[in-house]
Amino acid sequence: MDIHVPKDHPRYQSITIRESLVEAVERKIVAPAGLIAHGRGEAFDYLCGEQTPPPALDAVKAAAACLLHAGHPVISVNGNFAALCAEDIVKLSRTLGAPLEVNLFYRTLEREQAIEQVLLDAGADEVYGVGDAASETVPEIGSERRRIDPRGIGSADVVFVPLEDGDRTEGLIAMGKKVVTVDLNPLSRTARKATITIVDNIIRVVPLLIGEIESLRGSGSHDLEKILNTFDNRDNLKSMLEFISRRLNAFSFEGE
Ligand code: PTJ
């Protein structure tokens, strides 16, 4: 559907993103359930004031250190991530020298190929995980979504997996991998199980992460480890919940 939203509409960006996701469902990039996941993300983004909360900046720094310290980092791409930030995904992959792998919750070959094409159109040279290339499995997961590419997630030590479900995060951790995720819901199982969780909108996170990787690039192993050792995911999530409750408290007193 072609709708016209005036640029000065207060919710212009939000409505435009929503429309682009609806269109991405029609192109099989986003799963229908991806719209529900987006709505949940939007609700938490609202609570965060639709800007990067201070604790998320610490998590971005730790994530950059973790990805730079990795021997074989891999970027996992699902439908929502591809639809929201294809060009930034390719930029992140180049900046980090990390391969891209399509890894879907609602896995079909048609969707894998549609997402691969979006990434190729955005400038990617190669995309792992499509069709028979995903020939290995995450042992902890019972369904089709356990399939991974041995060149990518299969041999990765650190996986960047934004907007993820809890099972796969737990499965990857059980395989001995570190998981860096982005999830606007600080209460989700993924947020709690991941090695590093950035609680912010993926649209804002990827450019911040690219900037942080660029600024830490010259750091030695020791300095990166120092950043990692001073970051605690549980503490960061607690700070996020405190940030949200302070905002809610401030709102509740506004009318008095
Ligand atoms: O493309 P597929 O088949 O892999 O499916 C992707 C979805 C997202 C449908 C699938 O992974 C899923 O069902 O995920 P969940 O369990 O709904 O979790 C998605 C999480 O992402 C939720 O906790 C949302 O709050 C969060 N989220 C949604 N949009 C954003 C977000 N976090 C950051 N930025 C967003 N824009």
Chunked mean pLDDT (size 10), the chain, 256 residues? 69 86 97 97 95 97 98 98 98 98 94 98 98 88 81 97 90 95 97 97 98 97 98 98 94 68
Question: How far away, in angstroms, is 35 Cα from ligand 1 center?
Answer: 9
Q: How far apart are the first and last CA of the chain?
A: 43
* Ligand 1, CB within 6 Å, residue ranges: 31, 33-34, 37-38, 40-41, 44, 78-80, 84, 104-106, 163-165, 182-185, 188, 201-202
- Written as one letter, the residue type at 239 is S
For the stretch 166-224, pLDDT in tens is 888 999 999 999 999 999 999 999 999 999 999 999 999 999 999 999 999 999 999 99
Report the distance separating Cα 184 and Cα 31, nearest Å: 19
Give the number of the atom of ligand 1 that is nearest the alpha carbon of residue 106.
3
Q: What is the pTM of this model?
A: 0.95
Res 255: pLDDT? 58
Report the distance separating Cα 244 and Cα 229, nearest Å: 25
Give the number of the atom of ligand 1 that is nearest the alpha carbon of residue 165.
16
Res 1: pLDDT? 55
Q: How many Cα atoms sit within 13 Å of 11 on the Cβ side?
A: 6
Res 164: pLDDT? 87
